[in-house]
Amino acid sequence: MHNLAIALYKKTYTITGSDDEIFEPSLSRLDKYGLLPEKWGWDPDRISHEIDAIILGMHARKDNPELIRARELNLKIYSFPEYLYEQTKNKTRVVLAGSHGKTTLTSMIMHALRENGFQFDYMVGSVLEGFDTMVELNDANKIAIFEGDEYLTSPIDLRPKFHLYKPNISLITGIAWDHVNVFPSFENYLSQFEIFASMTSDSLVYFGGDVYATEIAEKNKNRIATIPYSELISCVTDNLSLVVHETTAVSLSIFGRHNMQNLAGAMQVCKMLGLKDADFLTSMSTFRGAARRQELLAKNGNRMVYLDFAHAPSKVIATVQAFREQYQGKKLIACLELHTFSSLSAEFLPQYKGSMDQADTAIVFYDPEVVKHKKLPAFPPELVKQSFGREDLIVLQKSGDVEQILLNSTAENSIFLIMTSGNFSGLDLRKLAGRLIQ
């Protein structure tokens, strides 16, 4: 939401906003543009007929006093994705969807287009090197690149966000059940991607190795173009990935089969937008990835500490496998935080079975207070060990214990892989990474 506010401010719109609390980096970024509210909290007196439109974030609730006043005054109320569509409805919209990989894939496309002189609108779910904000809107641009999130749109619109974008070109990376608090069964979750594909007007690009994405493409093949992609062939040399495609060879900072699949999908989309494969691959040699995706926090001659956003089962499997293959001969110490509603649901935990088997040491942390805060039934550490299917799995419930067990690791020639969508209940991961290499 704060990125959208800044993007609209740059378009010379008059922007105001309300919130009950604002954290970094949103706080500093809004302050830079003079967009912080005069006071925290909700005040219905701020809402009047002088306002052209309200953009409603997911943080607000149905009983929010400003929302109630806006509805009483019959003001136009947009959700975040609705407004993005409103701003780009006359452009070629490309929407990248899937249960995993969509942030990285969106970032790849954005990086390649920018490096080759393309101008475009965008919305991506992570900070990306070379881009000041996560949202850009410019009336002169003819293309819009959106990361397609399947989570809910707003408190008063319970459709998935990606149902609002109406893409010309869509891409599905793969489908694995997630967000169990919203989609109670896999069938219900899968149906959201079927609806998304049915809203695509021109072309559906999909990973041909995913059975569900393939089935969706098959249902749409007589209506729109359906284009599969697979995986670019790569090899590891000096801890870098070397990719050869036709007559072009490039060395990449990113690694893992899942990223070679993302690379193939991004290359196909860029080709459809007018970028040659060779130019795409050349630009990827300078791609460092999105924040918290294979992000190197610290290293010395014997140890490396990485942070990754992996949290859902399919993401954990792909990430652990990628590090195992990239750093053969090194000890892989993988530490995962269970933080999301899905991962802290006892019924969902068996989805993680085998996901950390390729790590030499596997650690799983969850905070019982977070379980309580999400109003979920408590579960014992033994259930986590049983669900992951690994007898030597180390299960911890205090962030201080995570810190100590990592610091007590004496193994040299090690890779520390920290996976989380949270922050280990306030653990300073960058400071910890520095201590791990001392």
pLDDT tens-digit map of 300-355: 989 999 999 999 999 999 999 999 999 988 999 999 999 999 999 999 999 999 99
Report if residue 81 sits inside a domain: no
Mean pLDDT of 2-25: 94
CA angle 261, 341, 124 (to 5 degrees): 45
Report if residue 79 sits inside a domain: no
- Judge if 370 and 330 occupy the same domain: yes
Contacts of 325 (CB under 8 A, 6+ apart): 236, 255, 256, 257
Judge whether 322 and 332 are in contact, CB under 8 Å: no
DSSP helix, strand, coil percent of the chain (3-state; round to 5):
35, 20, 45
Cα–Cα nearest to 269, from 150, 106, 91, 81:
106
Mean pLDDT of 72-99: 97
Burial class (CB in 10 A: 0-12, 13-18, 19+), 68: middle
- Percentage of the residues of the chain whose pLDDT score is greater than 90: 90
Task: Calculate the average pLDDT of the chain.
Answer: 95
- Judge if 248 and 178 occupy the same domain: yes
Report if residue 180 sits inside a domain: yes
- Judge if 56 and 123 occupy the same domain: no
Report if residue 82 sits inside a domain: no
pLDDT score recorded for residue 339: 95
pTM of the model: 0.91
The encoded tokens of residue 384 equal: 């986590």
323: containing domain: 295-436
Over 80: is that where the pLDDT of 200 sits? yes
Task: Label residue 31 by pLDDT band (50, 70, 90).
Answer: very high
Strand partners, 244: 249
Over 90: is that where the pLDDT of 223 sits? yes
Judge whether 261 and 229 are in contact, CB under 8 Å: yes
Over 80: is that where the pLDDT of 167 sits? yes
Task: Label residue 25 by pLDDT band (50, 70, 90).
Answer: confident
* Domain final residue pick, 251, 284, 317: 284
Task: Label residue 279 by pLDDT band (50, 70, 90).
Answer: very high
Output the domain CATH number for residue 364: 3.90.190.20
- Judge if 348 and 429 occupy the same domain: yes
Mean pLDDT of 262-286: 97
Q: Give per-residue pLDDT as tens, 226-256.
A: 999 999 998 887 767 899 888 888 999 999 9
pLDDT score recorded for residue 206: 98
* Domain final residue pick, 236, 257, 284: 284
DSSP label at residue 138: -
Cα–Cα nearest to 429, from 259, 309, 316:
309
Other CB atoms closer than 10 Å to residue 43's CB: what's the count? 14
pLDDT score recorded for residue 423: 93
Mean pLDDT of 24-39: 94
* Cα 2 to Cα 135: distance, rounded to the nearest angstrom: 9
Report if residue 363 sits inside a domain: yes
* Cα 374 to Cα 355: distance, rounded to the nearest angstrom: 24
- Judge if 314 and 417 occupy the same domain: yes
Output the domain CATH number for residue 227: 3.40.1190.10
* Domain final residue pick, 44, 74, 104: 74
Report if residue 80 sits inside a domain: no
pLDDT score recorded for residue 244: 86
- Judge if 117 and 171 occupy the same domain: yes
Over 90: is that where the pLDDT of 359 sits? yes
> What are the residue ranges of helices labelled H in 157-210?
186-198
The encoded tokens of residue 32 equal: 């830079």
Judge whether 40 and 10 are in contact, CB under 8 Å: no
Report if residue 83 sits inside a domain: no
pLDDT score recorded for residue 396: 98
pLDDT score recorded for residue 410: 87
Burial 267-289 (b: 16+ CB within 10 A, else e): bbbbebbebeeebbbbbbeebbb
pLDDT score recorded for residue 247: 85
- Judge if 230 and 302 occupy the same domain: no
Judge whether 165 and 123 are in contact, CB under 8 Å: no
225: alpha, beta or left? (left if phi > 0; alpha if psi -120 to 50) = beta
Mean pLDDT of 132-143: 96
Domains of the chain: total: 3
Report if residue 290 sits inside a domain: no
- Judge if 113 and 242 occupy the same domain: yes
DSSP string, 349-409: GGGGTTTTTTSSEEEEE--HHHHHHTT-----HHHHHHHHT-TT-EEES-HHHHHHHHHT-
Judge whether 291 and 128 are in contact, CB under 8 Å: yes
- Judge if 125 and 250 occupy the same domain: yes
- Judge if 96 and 223 occupy the same domain: yes
Task: Label residue 6 by pLDDT band (50, 70, 90).
Answer: very high
- Judge if 113 and 250 occupy the same domain: yes
